[in-house]
Amino acid sequence: MGTLYGYVRVSTQEQNEDRQLISMKEMGIENQNIFMDKQSGKDFERNNYRRLVRRLKENDVLYVKSIDRLGRNYEEIIEQWRILTKEKKIDIVVLDMPILDTRREKDLMGTFLSDIVLQVLSFVAENERKNIRQRQREGIAAAQLRGVQFGRPIKPLPSNFGQVYEKWVANEISGKRAAELCEMPLTSFYRRAGKLREQQV
């Protein structure tokens, strides 16, 4: 058997990777052979993952805690699995899913079953990611219907905005001068003036 490696991924800097690291230590993987990314799993453009793949050699074993730690894109997970097991000729062990252990049942049937389970699980992982995004969109839409405001609150207009606006509309002053009198950026003046004009129409 070759060298044991572990790959750990959390989606954000705030998420805790301890559970995954403990699992890697329990497998007897040395610290220098554990690679970790704090990055989204939407693709495989991750620095430490790429460093890991470059280091892997034939007969090495790669441990991941769960299939979604490897990635969340269905097609890319399948492609990476093919590269690692067929081109790099390493074994992969998914700790939360013992059937995804390429060290076991190396015959044709074992490989076939492993590939089928991988495809099903990868599909489920990506589908769940899509469902989460859909639920987020629906939640935002429902909140907006209730009057919840998102983004930065709109600053109140300066007390002299109405007078300055009227002078600007009458071409008595330029937009730049109007913005200066209102002590606001020119783009903000034009935007708020446009909204006021819409309300007056």
State how far the Cα of 64 lies from the Cα of 93, in Å rounded to an integer.
Answer: 6
Does an H or E element contain 7, and which? strand 4-10
At 150 the three-state DSSP class reads: coil
Tokens of 50: 């790429």
CA distance 14 to 24: 20
Closest CA to 50 of 69, 35, 61, 39: 35
Active centre residues (catalytic): 11
